[in-house]
Amino acid sequence: MGSGLSRPLTPRTVHLCLDMQNIFAPGGLWATPWLPKVLPVVEEITRTHPDRTIFTRFLTPSDPRQVVGLWQDYYRHWEQALRGNLPAEALDLVPSLARFVPPATVIDKMHYSGFVRSDLNRRLADMKADALVVTGAETDVCVLASVLDAVDLGYRVVVLQDAVCSSSDAGHDALMQVFHGRYSHQIETAGADVVLSAWPLS
């Protein structure tokens, strides 16, 4: 699956890395077991294109009343995830990625999609982005939501199959099949080696 790209990437490509934060790392409240496995690949992409990398951080509210609708029920269930109940560093990027900021930049969000009520699309416009190389967590939650929004906004999307992770093996596998099959005209899947060889330095 995803052995190649339809065409080379351009120097305008942006690496969009979703939610690689301490809360999803080992020992975090929402630990994603695969995160340590994909982290070296995310680091390699970032190291190669630091000035074309945007990290998102999923921020939780301090109080459920700060969010709307079913999000309030969600945070009443996950009361321990409210910002005041978490260790101060829980919502930070994992240290091995935080060291790339700057020149990499950080966009904060409070929803699954990186595009909802955030500055992400404006920032991508400022960078004249024509394609997104997507990494991060989780494949079947924030990656899914962000990828579909990116497709709706007209971006070329490449999901790095060895640089996304989930706490659900079944969810990850199903979504990679959907990305590669159902959305094959709008979403490409490939490994980091393929992407790096197809992405010229800016």
Q: pLDDT-derived band of residue 164, with 50, 70 and 90 as boundaries?
A: very high
Mean residue pLDDT of the chain comes to: 95
The DSSP letter of residue 143 is I
**Closest residue by Cα to residue 56 from 89, 101, 13, 87:** 101
Residue 108: count of CB within 10 angstroms of its CB:
14
Q: What is the pLDDT of residue 3?
A: 54
Q: What is the pLDDT of residue 4?
A: 76
User: pLDDT digit string (tens) for 100-155?
Assistant: 999 999 999 999 999 999 999 999 999 999 999 999 999 999 999 999 999 999 99
Contacts of 120 (CB under 8 A, 6+ apart): 16, 54, 56, 107, 109, 114
Percent of the chain whose pLDDT exceeds 70:
99
Q: Look-up: residue for tokens 């690949």?
A: 41
Domain boundaries, the chain: 14-198
User: pLDDT digit string (tens) for 7-48?
Assistant: 999 999 999 999 999 999 999 999 999 999 999 999 999 999
Q: Is the pLDDT of residue 58 over 50?
A: yes
Q: Is the pLDDT of residue 1 over 80?
A: no
pTM comes to: 0.96
User: pLDDT digit string (tens) for 74-85?
Assistant: 999 999 999 999
Q: Hey, which CATH number is domain 14-198, 3.40.47.10, 2.60.120.200, 3.40.50.850, 3.40.50.300?
A: 3.40.50.850
Q: pLDDT-derived band of residue 202, with 50, 70 and 90 as boundaries?
A: confident
In angstroms, the CA 33 to CA 25 distance is 8
Cis peptide before 102 (omega within 30 of 0): yes
